[in-house]
Amino acid sequence: MVKGIPAIVLAGGLGTRLRSVISDMPKPMAPVCGKPFLHFIFLYLQKQGITDVVLSVGYRSETIQEFFGSKYADINIRYAIENEPLGTGGGIAQAMAMIDSDAFVLNGDTFFDVDLSGLYEFHQKGNCDIALALKRMYHFDRYGTVEVGNQDRVLQFHEKQYRTEGLINGGVYVLSKYLFKKVEEIEESPLPQKFSFEKDILEKHLLPLHYHGKEFKGYFIDIGIPEDYQKAQEDFK
């Protein structure tokens, strides 16, 4: 069960590639079927039993705060506000500092229908530092792939290139509450305020830390490009 486990939603994206189709707003606020995309993420989290969310916000954060307030879809909301862009890692670290437990982390511009209780159970069973939800894709070049070995251990992250089939990082994680402390012990120095979660944590510390990946077959969409943003308008009807 996910009872008591909070979720961090990364909602600070600028939506640069969507500028042609949405106005000057954070990407998770892009309207889909008359509602912000983030609205559908909240409905999903509510269905999964999540009761507490920390929204990591930056660019035009006031538009998100005005719409969602301190409670939405029966979920309590707190805000980790970036006064300057901190990168995905800095944003997650700032939000994790507000939480005293493991946490789910989701991107605010992708929707991946993952069974969160199944992902958390997988995380606990594997004693993971990070558990990743993976999605199998076919005939793609937009995403890098994740190579998984024995006991679902993540072995390598591969760069973007055309592939007929492969597992991608679906952008839904469980993070151990000790993750960043462990990284600082490995590096023997405090983490910088601004860093990339993908480059500076996932890729850099693949061997000393325990990352495990579990494949989920649920619906997945990333609204980061106009074509998929338009597809979401149809799918979310």
d(CA 183, CA 141): 31
When pLDDT is cut at 50, 70 and 90, the band that residue 225 belongs to is: confident
Listed in order, strand segments (DSSP E) in 141-218 are: 145-148, 154-158, 163-175, 211-215
Q: What per-residue confidence (pLDDT) applies to 16?
A: 58
Determine the pLDDT at residue 66: 96
Which CATH topology does 7-235 take? Spore Coat Polysaccharide Biosynthesis Protein SpsA; Chain A (3.90.550)
Tell me, what amino acid is at 75? Answer: I
d(C-alpha 235, C-alpha 148), whole Å: 30
| Contact assessment for residue 9 and residue 1, using Cβ atoms and an 8 Å cutoff | no
Buried b (16+ CB within 10 A) or exposed e, 125-146: ebebbbbbbbbebeeeeebbbb
Q: Identify the pLDDT of residue 25.
A: 78
Q: What is the pLDDT of residue 179?
A: 97
Pick from 8, 188, 194: nearest CA to 83: 194
Is the entire prediction scored with pTM above 0.85?
A: yes
Residue 81 buriedness (CB in 10 A; 0-12 / 13-18 / 19+): middle
pLDDT digits 0-9 by tens, 83-140: 888 999 999 999 999 999 999 999 999 999 999 999 999 999 999 999 999 999 999 9
Distance CA 100, CA 186 (A): 21
pLDDT of residue 226: 85
pLDDT given at position 145: 97
Q: What is the pLDDT of residues 32-71, one digit of tens each?
A: 999 999 999 999 999 999 999 999 998 789 999 999 999 9
Higher pLDDT, 150 or 53: 53
pLDDT digits (tens, 9 = 90+) for 163-201: 999 999 999 999 999 999 999 999 999 999 999 999 999
